[in-house]
Amino acid sequence: MTNNLPRRPLKALCALALILVLSSCYMPIRFDAEIDINRTGYYDFIFDGYLAKVQLYQDLKDGKIGRDEEAEQVKLIKEDFGRDPAASEFKYYEKGHFHIAYKRSGDLLKTKTMTFFRRNEYILGISYNKNTGQITMLGKSLKRDTKDRLRAAGLDTSGELRLFTDGRVVSHNATSVKPFNSKGPNYKMYTWKIPNLLAPTPVLKIQIHDPQS
């Protein structure tokens, strides 16, 4: 059967799908982040940087909303982060951009996951899988066309992520690795220098124990 549907509606649907995916998305713009995961599964996570609310940025850029609605949305964003005790130092700047400091600690073998900011606003996460005996650190992954659209809209990301661990790392894509004995014996520092959105998504896996043990 011949498909006689016009191409324009398909493009429009793709654009709509992108808007739906990113409408509630917080995107890191400039940041500095550290994660410490020891071989027993205890972690510390610190994030300090600037985020953007993608849809708010786009609406302001397109002139779809005024100052009153901008102020109302900023209030909602501040309240959103205020509900999480790990978040602090919220400060709004302009065009949907704001600064946030975030710090969280815990035991992954008990909690199983840590997500920054939360599951439906995923930027970076750490998870423990008892079946594999592995802890995985993973940044948010976006498709190339989504990255291209964000950059074309004037949004991009840059920063540095450092992960310290004395655990047995079985895979990673860090840009550099070096010993870091000041944190303790066998510690290493894995660093991801992220120049823009096109950089590979950070990922690292630590083997805590043998599977099912």
Sequence ranges of the domains in the chain: 9-207
Task: Name the CATH topology of 9-207.
Answer: Immunoglobulin-like (2.60.40)
Sequence letter at residue 111: T
Contact 51, 100 (CB under 8 A): yes
Contact call for residues 159 and 33 (beta carbons, < 8 A): yes
Spell out, as residue ranges, where the chain has pLDDT lower than 70. 1-24, 119-120, 212-213
pTM, to two decimals: 0.85
One-letter identity of residue 170: V
**CB-based contacts of 36: which residues, under 8 Å, 6+ apart?**
43, 44, 45, 163, 164, 165, 183
pLDDT at 55: 92
| Per-residue pLDDT, 88 | 87
